[in-house]
Amino acid sequence: MPSVIAIDAKGRVDRTRTLQDIPGLIGQPDRLLWVDFEHPPTADQLARLGELFDLPARTLLHLVKQHRGPRAVRFLKCRLVVIFDVGLDPHDGVQTSELVHLIGENYLITTHPPQSNVIPLAAQAIEVEIATFGYTVSTLTYSILDQLVGRYDTVIGQIQGEVDQLRQRILQHHESEGVDDIYRLNQQLGELRQVMSPEEALIGSMHSPQSASETPDLTDAFQDVSIDLQTTIGSIDQMANLVSGLLDTYESLKSDALNLLVKRLTVLSIMLALVALIPALFGISINDPSWPFRTGYVGYALNVLGMALLGWLVWIVARRIGWIK
């Protein structure tokens, strides 16, 4: 069953109503109605809504259809606004949930999936919002926008924490696994921007058709939400640039590490080549009849000593020219 909330001109909220109570309430000019569906309404419920609010079936079908993105449409008797709640799943990435609104002069009809709690949270706060911003449908839609932008801030904060951790991992530990996280974060940021960017232009459509009845404080509150959303989108762009820069940084660090490895291998090759000169010139044992020693073991020792001295000399030279640190 849908949730039905009735609000009178004094700001008193009645949450005990059902669809059966709407006929006695809808004709009252000092009454606001908010009908919310946690699941798509059935065909019978759509037909009942059409009778109660005098809405055509084509308009009501938007409550059950899947929309490809945010949108705002002005119909003859109401406005349709589709926005999206977002969440982060550790396995599936960004998850989006459609929030569909039919906004009339004195009513609001919404649908949302069970995994999204933006609209229920907004419904819990309407007493405070009406006391602050006045008795109008725009107050109800503002409450939804305020909760939604707060959700966006939470998601952006989670991604910001991941970006900071990834930056430390790449710069301090040069983790190769960080590359996969870079691509994942880039994808998530792109999906979030694709959802949020169009919604910035839809905030104006969330006003009541009788927007002239809004208080200046409510108009300012809508403007504040718009600025918050712009700031959130700006944060997404900044993090996307930072994540892309981390990939360049990682590739640069790996390139430096590869160059250092090549230099060390070059030094090692030179050392081995020079060391091999001694046995190549004198044989495996330095042993000449005119020399004072008679056994080949002393010659072996001299060979080893000569090779060690040459290797040490090459190592010192490599360190002085900066090939080995």
**DSSP for 6-73?**
EEETT--EEEEE-GGGTHHHHT-TTEEEEEEESSPPPHHHHHHHHHHHT--HHHHGGGTSPPSS-EEE
What is the DSSP code string of 84-95? EEEEEETTTEEE
Q: Does the structure show a pLDDT above 70 at 287?
A: no
The pLDDT of residue 256 is above 70: no
Q: Is the pLDDT of residue 112 over 60?
A: yes
pTM: 0.76
pLDDT of residue 294: 52
CATH architecture of 3-251: 2-Layer Sandwich (3.30)
144 within 8 A of 129, measured Cβ to Cβ? no
Q: d(Cα 225, Cα 133) in Å, to the nearest integer?
A: 14
- 141-145 average pLDDT score: 94
Q: Are 70 and 84 in contact (CB under 8 A)?
A: yes
Q: How many other CB atoms sit within 10 Å of the CB of residue 295?
A: 9
Cβ atoms of residues 101 and 71 within 8 Å:
no
Checking if the pLDDT of 292 tops 70, the result is no
**100: enclosing H helix or E strand:** strand 93-103
pLDDT, position 220: 92
Which amino acid is present at 322? G
Mean pLDDT computed over 208-233: 86
pLDDT, residue 148, reads 94
Residue 83 pLDDT grade (very low, low, confident, very high; cuts 50, 70, 90): very high
| CA 79, chain centre distance (Å) | 29
Q: What is the pLDDT of residues 181-203, one digit of tens each?
A: 888 888 888 888 888 888 877 88
The reported pLDDT for the residue numbered 290 is 52
pLDDT at position 26: 78
Q: Which ranges in the chain are annotated with CATH 3.30.460.20?
A: 3-251
Strand partners, 89: 93
pLDDT of residue 245: 81
Residue 18 near residue 36, CB atoms below 8 Å: no
Give residue 282's pLDDT band: very low, low, confident or very high (50, 70, 90): low
